[in-house]
Amino acid sequence: MTDTPADSDGTPADKASSADPASTPAASTPAATPATPAATPAADAPVGEFLPSGARIDDAADDADAKKGVSRRSLITGIGVGAAVVAAGGFGTWWFLKSQSAPTATANGLVVTNSWADRELALTSPSGVCEAPLIIAYEKGFFADAGLNVTLKKTGDGENVTEAVGSGKYVASNGIFFNYLGPIYNGTPVKLSGGLHHGCLDLYTTTAGAVATVADLKGKKIGVSSLQGSATNFFSLDLLDAGINSSPEAGEVEWVVIEQPLLPEALKDGRVDAIATAGGYLPIIEAVESGWAKVLSNNQSISANADQPCCAVVLNSTFVTEDPVTAAKLVTAWAKGSRWAGANLEEVARIESEKEYVAGTPEEIIPVLQTLTFDPSPKNLHQVLQPGIEKYIKTGFLPADTDAKALADKAFVDLGLNF
């Protein structure tokens, strides 16, 4: 997935404020009405500040979408409930209303307090090659097969997707999972469930240059499309492992911001010693194939931090709290899309191109898909979340006093999925 604007990996990496400890629970939200999900206001996050890594926090975009009216189905349901209450009368009326609002539990312990099963579930419309799991789950009918009424909505230019999911504008989205940690720390009401694949992030250097390992980048220049991007943050972990402080203030590496289309040229011309990209970028993939560039690290297999998935499902907190059963169905269908994509790369490339999710031919898309490992797993994400947070704290991505376990517990929602 790519970072905004040319590299939109789902969300900007918001700075976590030490004034809001990770152990503080997210604010409770009013129950949703049968017609539309309740809008859960996101906690205010500091705007215009910079992370130790150099990332800047941006304002969220305005919501240009109008709310939808009450559906015909919900009107019919309401009439049926009203008629039954009138017919019951007295004690019977009280019993009927009580039975309608009582929580229902499933065999795996999930409790539904307010069903979302018949609602329209708005997801952010995919726009990158690595969003193949969502594209396939939608186009192949996996969501529909699960009984879900999923619609895809385009995000606004520069829209803060994390806040939009937290507010209920979207029920769910997908993106680089650690980009959600800062907003969750600051109280944005979203939850993570299920890594979708590995391989979105790559670090390249030249084959003829002096850089043979990540440790050789000390004192060198690294080209990135954004200081607040996922590639910058992820490869800060690799630099940390190599004993290099990635903070611009430390001066041990220099992050050079260059537009993504110009990154390969900057590397080839020697203006930078390495470049970090997100979402798979065909020109640099072709440079590796032609022999003048090489992969120094990636989150598919090379990096010591490759156990962390890149893209994951992020869900509105009210949705998962009120109806974890429907949320589990959504994540399961999404994961099915990921597995299908991994087994059918050529068909995925054709669908992404023909349906215009991605501007490119199937022949251009396939090499990018081949850099990904489609291995969806809520269990894996849960296992790596706390250790990953502990390392991000050391890079300055999160405040030094962050409670890693508390933040991991706050971020992850257990939907009883064992894959």
Tens digits of residue pLDDT in 97-139 = 333 445 776 657 899 999 999 999 999 999 999 999 999 999 9
Q: Do 327 and 380 fall within a single domain?
A: yes
DSSP H helices, 116-206, are: 132-139, 142-145, 161-167, 181-185
- List, for residues 327-365, the tens digit of each pLDDT value: 999 999 999 999 999 999 999 999 999 999 999 999 999
Q: Tell me the residue range of the domain where 276 lies.
A: 201-298
| Predicted local confidence at residue 104, as pLDDT | 73
Preceding peptide of 189 cis, ω within 30°: no
- R_g over Cα of the chain: 22
16 band by pLDDT with thresholds 50, 70 and 90: low
Here the CATH number for the domain that contains residue 132 is 3.40.190.10
Q: Considering the chain, what is the average pLDDT of its residues?
A: 81
| 210/189 same-domain check | no
Range 378-392 average pLDDT: 95
Structure confidence at residue 305 (pLDDT)? 94
Q: From CA 326, how far away is CA 121, in angstroms rounded?
A: 10
Position 15 scores a pLDDT of 45
Confidence of residue 325 (pLDDT cuts 50, 70, 90): very high
The answer to whether position 347 is within a domain reads: yes
Q: Into how many domains does the chain fold?
A: 3
Query: Is residue 261's pLDDT more than 90?
Result: yes
Q: Are residues 127 and 140 in the same domain?
A: yes
Q: Where are the beta strands (DSSP E) in 97-148?
A: 104-105, 111-112, 120-124
Concatenating the DSSP letter of every residue in 199-249 gives: --EEEEEETTSS--SGGGGTT-EEEES-TTSHHHHHHHHHHHHTT----GG
Is 291 part of a structural domain of the chain? yes
pLDDT at position 280 = 85
Residue 3 lies in a domain: no
In a domain, 7, yes or no: no
**pTM for the structure as a whole:** 0.76
